Structure 1
Amino acid sequence: MVVSQMPDGGQVVVRSTPIFNDEDLVLVFTQVQDLTMMSKWKDELEQEIEKNNRMQEELQYLRDNQAATNLVGNSKEMISLRKLISVIAKSDASVLITGESGVGKEVVAKEIYNKSLRSDGPFISVNCAAIPENLLESELFGYEKGAFTGAFKQKIGLFEVADGGTIMLDEIGEFPIHLQPKLLRVLQEREIRRVGGTHNIPIDVRVISATNRDLLQQVNECKFRCDLYYRLNVVPILIPPLRQRREDVALLASSFLMQFNKKYKTSKFFLSQAVILLEQHDWLGNVRELENVVERLVIVSSGNAITPQQILTVFSGKLNMDTTTESASEFSLKEAVEQLEKKMISEALSNYKSTYKAAKILGMSQSTLVRKAKQLNIKSAKKAGLLE
């Protein structure tokens, strides 16, 4: 083994192994390793590990100073939300949580419950869309023995189960119109009547409801009672989508990574370019989609370092994640962002067949979309005549 100096000042290790056929020398196998490049890779990897460690420390600090909150994020929206929850949690006012699917409405509801004076009582979560309409009344309010065919004994409803605590009515926009007067009575009179019952039962329950629908529009369309809407909407909370608070993505991704490293007994970490790529994504499925992607990366990615190429592979829907850290070091952030932009613009143009509609969905101007589509040489758009 010999260490040699290269003309450019770099150093290489040269190992030569002679190969004999009987006593005759047939060939010499020579291996050359670039020490300078290996040292560079080592330094880059150590820097990435250091950045990842700093992110973990920041996440732990954030958790320690937020009284073990599950609402991770440093954006102004999340800071305001945590302040609002600290104010309203101590009251018994009804809360209506709105926001796109996957933003964490149940997490917010549990946060309100955990910080409330009812935290020692039960927390019951009910998905109104998941229970068949003909069963919803008996599930929520219970029934008496003999109330209908098959009612062989008395059943306690979920409102009674939640007595002294909190009930969350998720997907409240799906609540049947014919049952809404009965729910309104619960909110007004604080009492329920079981199906087939003859007397009212007082209950002490805080109601938190959630929906991804526009309830006010449903009121205007006579699909939701106006009086019920205002009873539910005493304290409104709107959770913004993840794409409007991109500064939360890194901390959320790091939090999920810690969770899944523990679950799967791994030691994965994000390269800094990979984190930036996550922040560039629009996350139409919001926090739930981010959690799904991080878990998939932990399960199927090779090596401990999660690279931009692996993230792009997940975004493309492919599961072949055999991408090493060394090859990823040659994958620039600019190339990663360009690939992601090309994919998103191509899909938007394909789905909406209009540069105006695609630009609106992607949150950019029409002129910017056309310019980027030309720069990225998106052939499908040219063939469709969208860039002429």
Structure 2
Amino acid sequence: MSEFLQSFLSTTWGLIAEMAPYLMLGFAAASLLHWLVRPERIQRWLGKPGIATVAKSCLIGVPMPLCSCSVIPVAASLRKNGASRGATAAFLSSTPQTGVDSILATYGMMGGLFATIRISVAFITGLAAGLLVDLFATPNEKPKLSPAPKPPLDTFSPLSPSSAPTAPLNALSLTPPQSAPPPNAATKNNSCCCSSKADPKHPSIQNALRYGWLRLPADLAVALLCGFLLAGLIATCLPADLLSGHYSSGMLAFALATLISVPLYVCATASIPLAYSFIAAGLSPGAALIFLIVGPATNTATIAAVWSLLGRKATAIYLSTLVVIAWLAGWLFNLLVASRTAQEIHLHAHKHSLSPLQHAAGIVLVLLLLIGLYNEHFKQRSQSCCAS
């Protein structure tokens, strides 16, 4: 038992330490992105249907560090403020698949080729889903949304996974909005930090740093910690060749990866150590790629949101486009470069030496996640405001 526990802890820490430096870079890039991006400008860009608008939506969505549930209220706000159906579908498809943090983490754990393919597939699925929704979704089927608030909300403050079940329901509420409070109500009733933010249209550098190094780790804390622990358990328990043979590639492996991915809540970053462990256990890189594509972009909350935002036919188009393109990408990946990628990951998995920088980054990452976990799930319960 002690030998198993030691192996499990060593494997899990190795995954954390190897991924940590790239997540640090991702948090820094997310801070910069949060400071540079203006929500009202994005809403103005995405209002017209067509390939140019859909492509802009994908270009905006791919680097956005929003997880599967955080993207729902953002997409709802974009839709209420005039974004087209296709642009909304493209944003919902491309955004949760990647982000600056997950792109850098994918590069560090699985190589530049895998990261490039993941980015490309996220853009292609978003583009295809948006164009097909614009072409074939029922044009007069109106979204079930309350009127858009004015001025626009600070749409790029992501919600934590723990608050996600409430946020999409509020964002997509069928009931009329309640009467607005007096203009000075926020000043009188909310004296804590969350009510005194800088103008959301022009976030300060301090707010951007707080977002990248406190809010984003808090949003990812539960998913990342569970992902690391589960990946460590898989790598410790499963023999290196368990998923080889009939289960490694082909239709059976693709179907298995899809069936596992669709109902699960798994964000783009937390899915990386899981996919890494699957490949190390013998699963083909193409099937792991399907897991990385379909998992973050589909879950029950996302499907319900697409249904309410865009309608029934658009939901069917969204899901079928994601699955078909994911399978095509997985098949091409296995056909062209899978052996090289799998060999690199197997060699990487058996590399036991970690540098002092990796150990230090791992410690910082764990501290950030634990602080975020405490603030998100324990500290805020005793406060009357500043809830996530």
Using structure 2 for the length normalisation, give the TM-score: 0.26
* Structure whose CA Rg is larger: 1
Whose strand proportion is higher, 1 or 2? Answer: 1
Whose helix proportion is higher, 1 or 2? Answer: 2
Using structure 1 for the length normalisation, give the TM-score: 0.26
